[in-house]
A and B are shown apart, each in its own frame.
Chain A
Amino acid sequence: MILNASGCLDALEAPEVALGLDAFVTKTVTPQPREGNRPVRIAETEVGMLNSIGLENPGIDGLLSDKLPRLAELGVPLWVSVGGFAASDYAEICAALDDRAEVTTIELNLSCPNVDEAPESAAEIVAAARPETRKPLYAKLSPAATDLPETARAVQSAGADGLSLVNTMRGLALEEKTLQPRLGHELGGYSGQGLKPIALAAVYQCYRATGLPIVGMGGITSGRDALEFLAAGARAVALGTILFADPEAPGRVRRELAEELDARGLAGTEAATGLAHSRGPVHVA
């Protein structure tokens, strides 16, 4: 199953790209509309990029009244990414989405590096959102957590049905000549190929810690990358930064992944999930 990473595709602007996905994940929606951060918002680095968009979005009312009905017409299953600045924000949006048949799954963005974090822990936010909706809840976590497997276990106990791993990590890029921060917001979220080993480790550890379904993402550019995320424990993968450079990536990655699976005699993506764990856990004396 191939998704987009939240904030890396506008299905209404590029429906042909979204139609190549098994589900479309919206840009993160917050209770109120947000303008986002001031420009400059994008800075390429040697092996990836930084963004400091800052959750620009029309607010939950704008999503429900305008965007959701149009997104539903595409016929691609919809995941809504939910953000906020307190656990009650997440709960409120989950309640508003609960009876919307267009939405198949809710992803809780617990880790945007470009806005102030909610004061509550990831688990407290999941616990607040859980009673408000019957829809599957995926918790999107940062790879920068001090003890990611522990955070993953905590959100599982709080009622998360799955994990989205990983969000971007905070980074900085400086101007060539002036040595000043290139982004208007100074720090941004780092994504792209440089994130892949970190994301793989997160998937690997959280698969072992929770057994929850995982959407793996972070620097996937090819079918081979997707296969590695499956092997580490992901049941699905999401494409992020590669969509900016290659809008045809969904179809290409899908073809390449099918070839990789065929070459190994694997019947499907399910057969590949968790293969990296076949030797069993390593015990340190």
Chain B
Amino acid sequence: MPRREALKVVANVAVGPYSLIRVERGGLDPGVPGQFFMLEAPGRPLPRPMSLCQASSGELSFLLEAVGPGTRALAAVQPGQEINIFGPLGNGYRLDVEQPLLVGGGVGLAPFPYLSEQLGGPPAILGFRSEWHAEAAALVPNAEVVVEPTLVTELLTDTHDVFACGPEPMLEAVRELAPRAQLAWEAPMACGYGACYGCSVKIDGVLQRLCVAGPVLEAVA
């Protein structure tokens, strides 16, 4: 069940250009890999959705890239500060597969450390726009790393059970090559629990709220 608690920040670590925010777990359930939490962005009116990156003992951690006012506010949190966190929310990855392969682009690798742990360290292909960004690959075991202009799809050759997370063009390209892939999508959302209808996207021709129907969707229903 999702809960909302004010949790103390334990550490805010730079990983390449990204920030890894570690917080005390409190009474929150880490949920299933691919599920997300709404993180209070200090000083901003709305929280931000973040998938859980790591669930080490007694902690939760989130990987984010400061790209706007909310993520910049989150990237500036200091140890000892408390932020409200609500979750876990949405539908995560289905883990009952035979040959898992994680495919991620940029900060889209965020759910993979926890996912990899749950799946026993499967192979991963991670794509980044620079060597600096690629420093984050160290968070995911057994990862093969490509840097632009090479794309993750150039290494995606066989029929693994693909778990993907990354920018929309990457997800679309992965879906072409791996029709059974589980894809984690992103959309702006105000609430994360079905209240605002802000994150509606077309799924199988029907508009559905990504926070409720997703964020992980099977490529072919």
CA distance A13 to B68 in the complex (A): 29
CA distance A36 to B200 in the complex (A): 9
| Cross-chain contact A42 with B45 (CB below 8 angstroms) | no
Give min CB distance, A112 to chain B, whole Å. Answer: 13
| Cross-chain contact A45 with B45 (CB below 8 angstroms) | yes
Give min CB distance, A46 to chain B, whole Å. Answer: 8
The reply to whether the CB of B44 lies closer than 8 angstroms to some CB of chain A is yes
Query: Which A residues are in CB contact (< 8 Å) with B195?
Result: 8-10, 13-14, 17, 243-244, 247
- The 8 Å CB contact of B196, one of A39, A45, A46, A244, is A244
| Cross-chain contact A36 with B197 (CB below 8 angstroms) | yes
Give min CB distance, A243 to chain B, whole Å. Answer: 6
Chain A contact residues, majority secondary structure: loop
CA distance A10 to B198 in the complex (A): 13
- The 8 Å CB contact of A40, one of B44, B47, B188, B196, is B188
Give min CB distance, A173 to chain B, whole Å. Answer: 11
The reply to whether the CB of A245 lies closer than 8 angstroms to some CB of chain B is yes
| Cross-chain contact B70 with A44 (CB below 8 angstroms) | yes
The reply to whether the CB of B199 lies closer than 8 angstroms to some CB of chain A is yes
Query: Which B residues are in CB contact (< 8 Å) with A51?
Result: 190, 196, 198
The reply to whether the CB of B170 lies closer than 8 angstroms to some CB of chain A is no
Query: Which A residues are in CB contact (< 8 Å) with B151?
Result: none
Given contacts A36-B200, A56-B200, A244-B196, contact A41 B47 (CB under 8 A): no
The reply to whether the CB of B160 lies closer than 8 angstroms to some CB of chain A is no
- The 8 Å CB contact of A8, one of B46, B196, B207, is B196
Which residue on chain B has the smallest CB distance to residue A8?
A: B195
Give min CB distance, B179 to chain A, whole Å. Answer: 24
- The 8 Å CB contact of A244, one of B46, B69, B84, B207, is B46
| Cross-chain contact B194 with A48 (CB below 8 angstroms) | no
Give min CB distance, B29 to chain A, whole Å. Answer: 16
Give min CB distance, A232 to chain B, whole Å. Answer: 22
Query: Which B residues are in CB contact (< 8 Å) with A49?
Result: 45-46, 190
Give min CB distance, A21 to chain B, whole Å. Answer: 13
CA distance A10 to B200 in the complex (A): 14
**How many B residues touch A, CB cutoff 8 Å?**
27
**Number of CB contacts from chain A to chain B under 8 A:** 90
The reply to whether the CB of B187 lies closer than 8 angstroms to some CB of chain A is yes
Give min CB distance, B20 to chain A, whole Å. Answer: 23
Query: Which A residues are in CB contact (< 8 Å) with B194?
Result: 10, 13-14
Given contacts A10-B194, A13-B194, contact A245 B207 (CB under 8 A): no
The reply to whether the CB of A93 lies closer than 8 angstroms to some CB of chain B is no
CA distance A244 to B200 in the complex (A): 15
Query: Which B residues are in CB contact (< 8 Å) with A241?
Result: 45, 190
CA distance A10 to B197 in the complex (A): 9
| Cross-chain contact B197 with A7 (CB below 8 angstroms) | yes
| Cross-chain contact A27 with B46 (CB below 8 angstroms) | no
| Cross-chain contact A245 with B200 (CB below 8 angstroms) | no
Which residue on chain B has the smallest CB distance to residue A219?
A: B45
Which residue on chain B has the smallest CB distance to residue A48?
A: B45
CA distance A95 to B213 in the complex (A): 34
The reply to whether the CB of A248 lies closer than 8 angstroms to some CB of chain B is yes
CA distance A232 to B199 in the complex (A): 35
Query: Which A residues are in CB contact (< 8 Å) with B70?
Result: 44
Interface residues of B in 178-221 (CB under 8 A from A): 187-191, 193-201, 207, 212
Which residue on chain B has the smallest CB distance to residue A56?
A: B197
Given contacts A41-B188, A42-B188, A56-B207, contact A245 B40 (CB under 8 A): yes
| Cross-chain contact A35 with B207 (CB below 8 angstroms) | yes
CA distance A243 to B197 in the complex (A): 13
Q: Mark B70-82, 1 if CB is under 8 A from A, else 0.
A: 1000000000000
Give A residues with C-beta under 8 Å from B: 7-10, 13-14, 17, 27, 35-36, 39-49, 51, 53, 56, 176, 192-193, 241, 243-248
